[in-house]
């Protein structure tokens, strides 16, 4: 029930037809009695800067979810962003501070990190290889650095992307050991596929799974199928794994905390969500 006390969370992106976040947030709000609603708002890139400023003039707005194609441009439009957003080079959540300034953060990587931590992987002092330095790979690398990993190896077929990400990481986290140029998974505590490899049948695997140790935790971002060929191969070697959709459900509690709403678990969100598919465009 929407009434005069309902708070709005704008879901800004384009096009909106693929948005699934309202089908998760809104059932959750209803289930816990929070008078708030996530509303999809289609906005083309040329209008985005003005729309973002205008929507935060509303008195009953609690915040905004930012999705494609606006995550990168949002960083330069805000008064304050976290180190995670600076390293990721993107932002997917915005709120208005008490003094009226706009602050942003990035939770794609936080969802991934929360998921693997809940599965038992200790990240403080750990080593990680992240294959893919695009949007999601950069966000995961940023959150791994914030979580206290000691060594982070980056690989991307576009080496300039990996080098640029490495520079941002070294700037924000000067004690972090950052390496680029290789993707041998041997010896790492965590290996992450942050590329689209696995979206289609027959895609090559992102790393040589024969070089994986059974103790290495393996994470995936591809969501077209839960158990990708990469995860299946890693699991066959005895590795603990995390599927792509876990990252997305795990990030929503972080969003809720950012906006000041009661938090929950990924399991509760899955239980109340009205999705017909495991895929989510957040």
Average pLDDT over residues 205-229: 93
Active-site residue set: 71
Looking from the CA of 161 toward its CB, the CA atoms found within 13 Å total 20
Q: Quick one: pLDDT band at residue 278, thresholds 50, 70, 90?
A: very low
pLDDT of residue 276: 63
Average pLDDT over residues 156-176: 97
pLDDT digits (tens, 9 = 90+) for 45-62: 999 999 999 999 999 999
Residue-level pLDDT at 200: 85
Among 69-78, 158-167, 191-200, 213-222, the range scoring the smallest mean pLDDT is: 191-200
Q: Is the pLDDT of residue 282 over 90?
A: no
Q: Please say if the pLDDT value at position 280 is more than 80.
A: no
At residue 267, does pLDDT exceed 50? yes
Residue 147 dihedral angles phi and psi, to the nearest 5°? -80, -5
- Quick one: average pLDDT of 212-239? 94
What pLDDT is recorded for position 223? Answer: 84
Cβ(40)–Cβ(70) below 8 Å: no
Instruction: Provide the greatest CA pair distance for the chain.
Output: 59
Query: Distance of CA 125 to CAs 95, 121, 149, 177, Å?
Result: 32, 11, 5, 11
pLDDT at 206 over 50: yes
This prediction's pTM: 0.89
What does pLDDT average to over the chain? 94
* Residue 124 in this model has a pLDDT that exceeds 70: yes
pLDDT digits (tens, 9 = 90+) for 176-200: 999 999 999 999 999 999 998 888 8
Which residue intervals of the chain are DSSP H helices?
Answer: 22-32, 45-55, 71-75, 83-88, 108-118, 135-146, 159-172, 229-236, 244-259, 266-272
How far apart, in whole angstroms, are the C-alpha atoms of residue 274 and residue 27? 7
Is residue 279 very low, low, confident or very high in pLDDT (cuts 50, 70, 90)? very low
Would you place residue 281 in the very low, low, confident or very high pLDDT band (cuts 50, 70, 90)? very low
Structure tokens at 99: 């003094």
Average pLDDT over residues 97-103: 95
Helices and strands in the chain, H and E counts: 10, 12
**What are residue 107's phi and psi, to 5 degrees?**
-115, 0
> Is residue 277 pLDDT above 50, yes or no?
no
Q: To 5 degrees, how large is the angle CA 156–CA 241–CA 179?
A: 30
**Above 90 in pLDDT, residue 268?**
yes
3-state DSSP helix/strand/coil % of the chain, to nearest 5:
35, 20, 45
């Amino acid at each position: 029930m929407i009434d005069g006390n309902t708070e709005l969370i704008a879901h800004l992106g384009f096009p909106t037809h693929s948005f699934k976040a309202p089908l998760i947030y809104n059932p959750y709000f209803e289930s816990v009695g929070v008078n708030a609603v996530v509303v999809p708002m289609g906005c083309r890139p040329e209008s985005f800067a003005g729309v973002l400023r205008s929507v935060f003039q509303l008195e009953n707005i609690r915040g905004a979810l930012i999705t494609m194609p606006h995550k990168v441009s949002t960083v330069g439009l805000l008064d304050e962003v976290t180190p995670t957003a600076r390293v990721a080079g993107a932002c997917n959540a915005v709120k208005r501070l008490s003094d009226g300034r706009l602050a942003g953060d990035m939770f794609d990587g936080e969802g991934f990190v929360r998921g693997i931590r809940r599965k038992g992987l200790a990240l403080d002092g750990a080593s990680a290889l992240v294959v893919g330095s695009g949007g999601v790979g950069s966000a995961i690398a940023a959150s791994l650095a914030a979580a206290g990993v000691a060594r982070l190896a980056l690989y991307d077929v576009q080496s300039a992307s990996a080098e640029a990400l490495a520079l941002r990481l070294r700037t924000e986290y000067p004690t972090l050991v950052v390496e680029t140029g290789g993707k041998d998974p041997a010896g790492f505590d965590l290996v992450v596929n942050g590329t689209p490899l696995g979206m289609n049948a027959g895609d090559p695997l992102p790393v040589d799974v024969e070089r994986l140790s059974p103790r290495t935790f393996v994470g995936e971002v591809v969501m077209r199928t839960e158990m990708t060929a990469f995860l299946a191969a890693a699991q066959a070697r005895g590795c603990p794994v995390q599927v792509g959709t876990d990252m997305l459900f795990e990030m929503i509690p972080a969003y809720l905390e950012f906006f000041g709403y009661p938090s929950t678990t990924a399991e509760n969100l899955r239980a109340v969500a009205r999705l017909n598919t495991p895929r989510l465009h957040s």
